[in-house]
């Protein structure tokens, strides 16, 4: 889900003929099957399986040919479609299936706020750009509108015809107002009178009451009125913004609930008693709607001087009122009212989404707090812990790490050793300095608390906070202020380069010498996400790695020429070129008839030079397996180009977030774990690191875990040459799920 990323706090075998296209294995005899079969989403060109370039000799093929690349935005939509399909997977408990619908909504919100908004801005300001696929922004927007409308219609059919009825079978009811009992109607009326009416502000539209400035994704109603008010005004329309302080989902009290737990939507309550907002007037219709705006911050690093924090604070104020990009509205709203709103927001019919249900499904996540039904969720689990780290959580933890490297895979293994690593350092009188990068963590998280304690204990604490982490800017500004107040040195990274690397460096006095210890990770320092995202953590005292991390911090906090590092790969300096070199070495081995292999596991793959290197490796005979959770613009299976490349996506209970680069390397495997995806922004425009695994046991372990993902036949989707994804379907009694296997082997 969107790193776009999804931020919800509460959640390779060969492809055989049993693979099925998206949604084709759905069996729902009680509803219209045609409506619930998700059409596959072809990329371009439509006849990709018969590409013209397949007729050429490999040496004649231009690897930058547009036919060899999918469109980035349409590939992004493909990922969202795979997330939506989890709501149809009966292997997930029913409340988790509802959560996937919520996550899909959240992902689509960000997709429109950032990606669609960006394309619309290109057209508005005549700054059209094309990617490797060559599609024009206007054509991309047309495709997005067509696909997104189909996905949204499918989402609400799944909600209304499958999820809600199945929850009702378990006595969890979402009750529409037309089905309220007399007792429930009386309760809703009291709730409206006591909780809604005192704080809601209806706005009639006339020359002295202009259309209100509605913030991004706020919940509103447009009301049709008839009659004249006390001042003789007769306009016919009013806007009712729903206060953000009101819950969108309300649990009915036990005394009015029947047969279990009953929920009412705020929209239903307001709709039922909207006439009380306009005494003496006749309410002809009341329709919920939501406006999505451009939410991408535009902070020009060249123009902000030294005050990035100040520039961000200013820009954050305007984020809620960017240009309009999407209108969601109740599907029974009259066309005349819709046309008026589209004109008001300067949108077209292709930007309109008629909704059969709540206009913001992500708010349904609140049901997890409203009902106590653990039987309808995945059972809880206890993450595993290496025994030596459990026994040595105090000062001896440094001695344990000094003896060997420790690799943890979250959430199957606990994130607590990483927190302990830092909290022990904060208290340890022998620790003299702590340096850390932070991208997303939270201003009151255990990590933040440990850094504050360390600074107050007199340690030299230096924190590189990336203020521009999308949608976490305000939280990171608050964290920066808190750390500065505690006495820590806070820097904001490097102009024009986001700091995305995940590093902790601890300097400890041991006898007459100083000893360094390091944590390196693929994911953020966020304890909540560590229970939802799959990520690797490495705890080490390796002298060279620690020295490398020290040099990276020198570059981030000071000013210096590029510093040579021994073992780390460091973007934007060495990471991309070293990856290209290692890919080329595998191609050389294959061309010489030697064994070769490449496995990459990333969230997204869009960097053209990296893709072209993989094409060349495939042409040379290298077997390339790519595990790409989200966006992938590489086209696999093209004769003479990518026939040796397979691409799969794993979508399951946990968000796949590890980045792993594996190379056979002439029988001496190289494994790098990284904060970086295979994207231009990561390899060219961010501060990233990739760190090697040096312990042969750890190398074998990660290779084994990669093979688990490659053999997954229950939660894996395989990218086809035409751009569609096929869901692997296991044979009878041959169910293989990487996440379930890791949960059973690593967790307690």
Of 92, 500, 519, 570, the catalytic one is: 500
Lay out the sheet containing 282-293: strands in order across.
203-204, 237-241, 219-226, 282-293, 324-330, 352-355
* pLDDT per position as a tens digit, 409-448: 999 999 999 999 999 999 999 999 999 999 888 777 899 9
CA distances from 670 to 386, 544, 585 (A): 24, 17, 12
Q: DSSP states of 183-221 as a string?
A: HHHHHHHHHIIIIITTT---EE-BTTBPPP-PPTT-EEE
* pLDDT per position as a tens digit, 561-609: 777 899 999 999 999 999 999 999 999 999 999 999 999 999 999 999 9
Cα–Cα distance measured from residue 324 to residue 163, given in angstroms and rounded to the nearest whole number? 31
- Alpha-carbon torsion angle 602, 604, 610, 616, nearest 10: 80
Q: Which residues contact 71 (CB under 8 A, 6 or more apart)?
A: 43, 44, 131, 133, 135, 140, 143, 633
List the beta strands (DSSP E) in 425-512: 431-438, 460-465, 489-491, 498-499, 503-510
- Look up tokens 């007399």; give the residue: 182
* pLDDT per position as a tens digit, 72-84: 999 999 999 999 9
Stretch among 92-96, 300-304, 681-685 having the lowest mean pLDDT: 300-304
Residue 318 pLDDT > 60, yes or no? yes
Token readout for 216 is 């991004």
Token readout for 381 is 């689990």
| Per-residue pLDDT band at 476 (split at 50, 70, 90) | confident
Token readout for 61 is 């093929």
Cα–Cα distance measured from residue 661 to residue 626, given in angstroms and rounded to the nearest whole number? 10
Q: Which residues contact 167 (CB under 8 A, 6 or more apart)?
A: 94, 95, 98, 173, 174, 376
Residue 368 pLDDT > 70, yes or no? yes
Residue 10 pLDDT > 60, yes or no? no
Q: What is the pLDDT of residue 250?
A: 96
Q: What angle do CA 220, 108, 267 make, to 5 degrees?
A: 25
Token readout for 610 is 């990296």
State the chain's maximal CA–CA distance in angstroms.
90
Q: What is the pLDDT of residue 312?
A: 59
* pLDDT per position as a tens digit, 325-356: 999 999 999 999 999 999 999 999 999 999 99
Cα–Cα distance measured from residue 284 to residue 172, given in angstroms and rounded to the nearest whole number? 32
* pLDDT per position as a tens digit, 268-306: 999 999 999 998 889 999 999 999 999 886 655 554 445
The answer to whether residue 696 is catalytic is no
* pLDDT per position as a tens digit, 599-634: 999 999 999 999 999 999 999 999 999 999 999 999
CA distances from 102 to 80, 111, 139, 362, 396 (A): 12, 14, 28, 4, 44
List the one residue out of 533, 528, 168, 193 whose CA is nearest residue 371: 168
CA distances from 263 to 266, 347, 370, 425, 657 (A): 10, 34, 9, 47, 34
Q: DSSP states of 332-385 as a string?
A: TS-HHHHHHHHHHHT--GGGEEEESS-S-GGGGGGHHHH---GGGSPPP---B-
Cα–Cα distance measured from residue 641 to residue 638, given in angstroms and rounded to the nearest whole number? 5
Q: What is the pLDDT of residue 11?
A: 34
List the beta strands (DSSP E) in 397-543: 406-410, 431-438, 460-465, 489-491, 498-499, 503-510, 513-521, 533-540
Is residue 670 a contact partner of residue 567, using CB atoms and an 8 Å limit? Answer: no
DSSP state of 603: S
Rg (CA), the chain: 27
Token readout for 110 is 């960000």
Is residue 115 a contact partner of residue 77, using CB atoms and an 8 Å limit? Answer: no
| Domain range annotation of the chain | 177-300+323-372, 387-566, 570-746
Q: What percent of the chain has pLDDT over 70?
A: 88
Cα–Cα distance measured from residue 95 to residue 167, given in angstroms and rounded to the nearest whole number? 8
List the one residue out of 604, 594, 628, 597 whose CA is nearest residue 680: 604
Mean pLDDT calculated for residue range 179-186: 95
Stretch among 36-45, 70-79, 186-195 having the lowest mean pLDDT: 36-45
| Per-residue pLDDT band at 466 (split at 50, 70, 90) | confident
Please report how many Cα atoms fall inside a 13 Å half-sphere around the Cα of residue 739, on the Cβ side.
Answer: 23
CATH fold for the domain made of 570-746: Endonuclease; Chain A (3.30.870)
Q: What is the pLDDT of residue 733?
A: 83
Segment holding 418, helix H or strand E: helix 416-427
Q: What is the pLDDT of residue 72?
A: 96
- Which CATH number does the domain 387-566 belong to among 3.30.870.10, 3.40.50.150, 3.60.110.10, 3.30.565.10? 3.30.870.10
Please report how many Cα atoms fall inside a 13 Å half-sphere around the Cα of residue 714, on the Cβ side.
Answer: 18
- Alpha-carbon torsion angle 551, 557, 561, 566, nearest 10: 10
CATH class of residue range 177-300+323-372: alpha beta
Q: String of b and e for 71-100 (b: at least 16 CB within 10 Å)?
A: bbbbbbbbbbbbbbbbbbbeebbbbbbbbb
Query: Does 570-746 match 387-566 at the fold level?
Result: yes
472-478 own/partner pairs: CB under 8 Å, 24+ apart: 472/439, 472/440, 473/297, 473/312, 473/316, 474/316, 475/440, 475/442, 475/443, 476/438, 476/440, 476/443, 477/309, 477/312, 477/313, 478/443
Cα–Cα distance measured from residue 707 to residue 701, given in angstroms and rounded to the nearest whole number? 10
Q: What is the pLDDT of residue 313?
A: 61
Q: DSSP states of 81-129 as a string?
A: HHHHHGGG-TTS-HHHHHHHHHHHHHHHHHIIIIIIHHHHHHHHTT---
């Amino acid at each position: 889900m969107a790193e776009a990323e999804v931020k919800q706090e509460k959640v390779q075998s060969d492809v055989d003929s049993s693979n099925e296209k998206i949604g084709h294995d759905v069996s729902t005899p009680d509803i219209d099957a045609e409506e619930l079969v998700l059409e596959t989403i072809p990329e371009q060109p439509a006849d990709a399986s018969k590409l013209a370039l397949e007729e050429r000799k490999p040496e004649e093929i231009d690897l930058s040919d547009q036919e060899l690349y999918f469109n980035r935005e349409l590939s992004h939509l493909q990922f969202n479609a795979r997330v939506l399909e989890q709501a149809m997977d009966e292997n997930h408990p029913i409340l988790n299936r509802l959560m996937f619908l919520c996550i899909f909504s959240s992902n689509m919100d960000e997709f429109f706020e950032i990606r669609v908004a960006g394309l619309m801005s290109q057209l508005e300001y005549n700054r059209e750009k094309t990617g490797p696929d060559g599609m024009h922004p206007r054509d991309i927007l047309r495709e997005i509108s067509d696909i997104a409308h189909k996905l949204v219609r499918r989402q609400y059919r799944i909600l209304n015809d499958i999820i809600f009825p199945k929850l009702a079978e378990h006595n969890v009811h979402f009750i529409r107002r037309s089905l309220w009992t007399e007792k429930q109607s009386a309760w809703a009326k009291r709730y409206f009178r006591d909780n809604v009416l005192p704080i809601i502000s209806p706005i009639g539209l006339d020359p002295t009451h202009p259309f209100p400035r509605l913030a991004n994704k706020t919940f509103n109603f447009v009301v049709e009125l008839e009659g004249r008010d006390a001042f003789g005004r007769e306009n016919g329309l009013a806007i009712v913004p729903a206060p953000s302080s009101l819950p969108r989902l309300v649990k009915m009290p036990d005394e009015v609930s029947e047969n279990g737990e009953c929920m009412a939507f705020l929209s239903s309550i307001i709709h039922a008693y909207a006439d009380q907002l306009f005494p003496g007037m006749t309410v002809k219709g009341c329709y919920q709607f939501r406006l999505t705006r451009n939410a991408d911050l535009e902070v020009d690093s060249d123009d902000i001087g030294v005050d990035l924090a100040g520039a961000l604070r200013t820009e954050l104020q305007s984020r809620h009122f960017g240009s309009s990009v999407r209108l969601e509205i109740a599907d029974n709203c009259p066309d005349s009212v819709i046309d008026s709103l589209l004109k008001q927001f300067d949108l077209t019919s292709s930007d309109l989404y008629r909704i059969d249900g709540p206009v913001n499904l992500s708010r349904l996540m609140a049901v997890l707090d409203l009902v106590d039904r653990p039987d309808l969720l995945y059972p809880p689990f206890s993450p595993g812990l290496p025994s030596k780290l459990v026994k040595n959580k105090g000062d001896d933890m440094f001695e344990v790490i000094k003896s060997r490297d420790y690799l943890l895979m979250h959430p199957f293994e606990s994130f607590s050793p990483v927190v302990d690593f830092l909290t022990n350092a904060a208290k340890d009188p022998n620790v003299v300095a702590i340096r850390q990068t932070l991208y997303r963590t939270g201003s009151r998280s255990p990590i933040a608390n440990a850094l504050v304690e360390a600074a107050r204990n007199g340690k030299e604490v230096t924190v590189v906070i990336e203020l521009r982490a999308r949608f976490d800017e305000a939280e990171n500004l608050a964290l920066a202020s808190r750390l500065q107040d505690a006495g820590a040195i806070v820097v904001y990274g490097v102009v024009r380069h986001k700091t995305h690397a995940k590093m902790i460096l601890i300097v400890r006095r041991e006898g007459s010498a100083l000893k360094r210890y390091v944590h390196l990770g693929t994911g953020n320092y966020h304890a909540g996400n560590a229970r939802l995202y799959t990520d690797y953590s490495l705890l080490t005292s390796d002298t060279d790695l620690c020295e490398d991390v020290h040099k990276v911090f020198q570059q981030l906090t000071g000013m210096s020429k590029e510093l040579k590092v021994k073992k780390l790969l460091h973007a934007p300096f060495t990471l991309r070129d070293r990856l290209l070199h290692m890919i080329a070495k595998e191609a050389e081995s294959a061309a010489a008839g030697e064994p070769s292999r490449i496995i990459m596991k990333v969230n997204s793959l869009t960097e053209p030079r990296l893709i072209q290197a993989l094409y060349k490796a495939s042409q040379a005979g290298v077997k390339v397996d790519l595990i790409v959770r989200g966006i992938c613009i590489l086209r696999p299976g093209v004769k003479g180009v990518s026939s040796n490349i397979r691409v799969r996506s794993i979508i399951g209970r946990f968000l796949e977030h590890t980045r792993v680069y594996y190379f056979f390397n002439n029988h001496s495997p190289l494994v790098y774990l990284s904060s970086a995806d295979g994207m231009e922004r990561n390899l060219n425009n961010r501060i990233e690191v990739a760190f090697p695994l040096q312990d042969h046991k750890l190398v074998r372990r990660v290779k084994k875990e990669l093979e688990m993902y490659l053999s997954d036949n229950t939660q894996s989707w395989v990218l086809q040459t035409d751009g569609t994804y096929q869901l692997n379907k296991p044979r009878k009694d041959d169910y293989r799920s990487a996440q379930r296997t890791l949960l059973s082997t690593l967790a307690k």
